[in-house]
Structures are given as structure tokens and as C-alpha cells.
Amino acid sequence: MSKKFKAVVIDNQNEKFTREIKQLSTDDLKDGNVLVKIDYSSLNFKDALILNNGGRIVRKYPFIPGIDFSGIVEESEDNKFKKNDKVILTGFRVGEMYFGGFSQYAKVNSDFLVKTPNDLDSLKAMKMGTAGLTALLCAFAVKAKEELLMGTKVKDVLVTGATGGVGSFAVMALSKMGYDVHAVTGKKEKHEYLKKLGAKNILDRSQFLGESKLLEKGLWDCVVDTVGGEGLTKILAQTKPGGIVALPGNAGGNKISTNVMPFVIRGVKLWGIDSSGASVKRKEFVWNEASKLIDFSLIDNSIKEVSLKELLEVFPKILKGQLTGRIIVNPSK
């Protein structure tokens, strides 16, 4: 039996882009084999691009955006999931190619879903969302230097864009793993916040701009670079032999000017982090580790819960760099 629900719907007809909250029916959801009643979603930079004008990402209209969500299974055609199972979805082109999470209901492929661990709930899952998942994938890439590659013990880890969503979760997780975290930011007012998250040292982002030598003094065992762009050149030159540079973002630009020396002389590894396309098996592992590495009490003050209507008012701020903290979307608010 079909159900009525609210969703953010974007459209682009005759080059006129619109976004509004509409009432739809579950019969309108054509994708996938599992119907989920959504408890929460979250606002990510990619979501803001899509809400703004489609972001050159969405190809079919009208469309429901939202690249992640958590909720409860309402109906399932796959016996891996049953009614009332709690689930999390991040990535797999949901909110880009398939109807997404800025909605009270979503219908998705069962292969895209992860069961919510017992020590998490729907709200905590979206307090982390895609940003938190990405940060933990980065943290385990750092840990791979010791465990997977059997390299020397990691001590000093650099995290750029440390006050952002991915960066702040990475600071916390890496600190909990026992590493000395050196957080990079241009926001002096956030130094104490970063120290509360576990940062041992705070560096100004200006230190990573400008000309770089082919190789500089090795300072970092590993790096989580959420920014990319110009600063990555100096970061690679400063990474110690065998170090891993986990790269999940490109807010600083798509291009870098570097050389082969860090890779062939020091064996540095540039590890791209694609949280959207990471396998369900990897996502299950990370979500099950989350409660050990994330102290939610430290981030609660930086999280704001909004309705679908409020989402349409607040999303432009993330594009202008005016948003701090995380935005959680409650479609039933």
C-alpha cells in the first residue's frame, strides 16, 4: 500500500532550476528493492552543489537529492533485510543518480545498505554521515602503514582542513588511535576546539603554501589531506619514507604541481579515499569501529538539526564557506 510523504524535489525544465518541498507517494520511488523510512540525513558540500543548480552531477529531473541517510526498513524484497531493521546508506551515487535522503522515504538497492551497529543509532549515524565515514576510512589508511604494509610505527600525523567535517572527525579518530595529531587550520578561534578533539599541535595553513623543494625535511609519518590543491605539493615533500598521504577531498583545487621524488626516493604513497564507492564490506567494518573512535559528546555543540524547509534556507552558507559544524536533516521535523 502506497504512503504519502514529503521530500525536497529539484527540477530543471527549460533551463529554469527550481527546488521545493513536495508531497509524493511511495509509488513514485522506482529505484531499488528496499523501502526505508528515513530518520535523518545530513548536509554535505556535494549536496549543496546539487541543491544550488544540480552541480553538473544530476542528469535526470525531477529529482530528490541527499547523498546519505539513516532509518528503518519498511519493506524489503531481499531477505538480507527485514522490516524494522535499522540501516545506514552513504554513497553509491544515491542522491546523484538515484533518489536520495532529503525525504521521509527512500527506495534503494539492498547492496547499498549497511545495518546500523547496536552501539549506534540513526541520529549518531548521521552526526557522522558521509564526513565521518570518510574520516574513518582515512584513519584506517594511516593505520595500514603499520599493519597492512608492515612499516614503521606511526607517530606524527598531519591533518589539513582540520575544522571541516572530515578533518574534525579525523583529528578525533587518529588521536584515539594513539597518534600525535598536528591539525592545520586558518581559523585561530578554533584552536581550543581542535585541542579538545585531540590535536596535540595546531599549524597555520599558510605554512603549506608557496614554492616547495623536490624533497623537504621529513616531518610526517602520515597525512590526512582533506584540502588537496597547492598545499599537497609541500605535504608530499615533507612526508617521511614509507608514509601514506590519504586524500579524500579537493576543496583547495583539482590540480597539484609535484614531482616523482617523494614516491621513488621515499616510497610515499598517495592514497585516494573514495567513500562513495567503498565496498559495503569496508563500510560495515568502519561503522562497527565508529563508537570506539568517535566521542559524540565532543561534537554535539557543533551540530544543528534542521527541517527540510530550513535545509533550503541554510545550504547556500556551505558554498560560501560560512557554515561551521554539521547540519543534520530531520525530514519529519
CA distance 270 to 258: 12
Same domain flag for 265 and 178: yes
Residue 252 has pLDDT above 90, yes or no: no
Domain with 135 in it: what CATH number?
3.40.50.720
Same domain flag for 236 and 151: yes
Domain with 17 in it: what CATH number?
3.90.180.10
Q: What are the residues whose beta carbons fall under 8 Å from the beta carbon of 317, sequence distance 6 or more?
A: 323
Same domain flag for 52 and 97: yes
Same domain flag for 106 and 158: no
**What one-letter code names the amino acid at 167?**
G
pLDDT class of 84 with cuts at 50, 70, 90: very high
Q: What are the residues whose beta carbons fall under 8 Å from the beta carbon of 272, sequence distance 6 or more?
A: 247, 248
273-310: pLDDT as tens digits: 999 889 999 999 999 999 999 999 998 888 999 999 99
Handedness of CA 317, 171, 300, 285 (dihedral sign): positive
Torsion angles phi and psi, residue 150, rounded to 5 = 55, 40
Which residue range is the domain that position 74 belongs to?
A: 4-116+299-329
Cα angle value 290/43/103 (rounded, 5°): 100
Same domain flag for 238 and 141: yes
Q: Of 10, 11, 5, 63, whose CA–CA distance to 38 is shortest?
A: 5
Predicted local distance difference test score (pLDDT) of residue 228: 87
Length of the chain as a residue count: 333
| Residue 125 within a domain | no
Most confident of 53-57, 101-105, 188-192: 101-105
Same domain flag for 148 and 267: yes
CA distances from 112 to 65, 76, 143, 200, 239 (A): 16, 13, 26, 37, 35
Residue 134 has pLDDT above 80, yes or no: yes
| Residue 124 within a domain | no
Q: Per-residue pLDDT averaged across 156-172, rounded?
A: 94
pLDDT class of 321 with cuts at 50, 70, 90: confident
Q: What b/e string do you get for 284-294 counting C-beta neighbours within 10 Å, with b at 16 or more?
A: eebbbebeebb
Take residue 212 and report the three cell numbers written for it. Answer: 616547495
How many domains does the structure of the chain reveal?
Answer: 2
Same domain flag for 149 and 63: no
Query: What is the average pLDDT score of the chain?
Result: 93
Residue that terminates a domain, selected from 272, 288, 319: 272
Longest dimension (CA), the chain: 66
- This prediction has a pTM of 0.92
**What one-letter code names the amino acid at 226?**
T
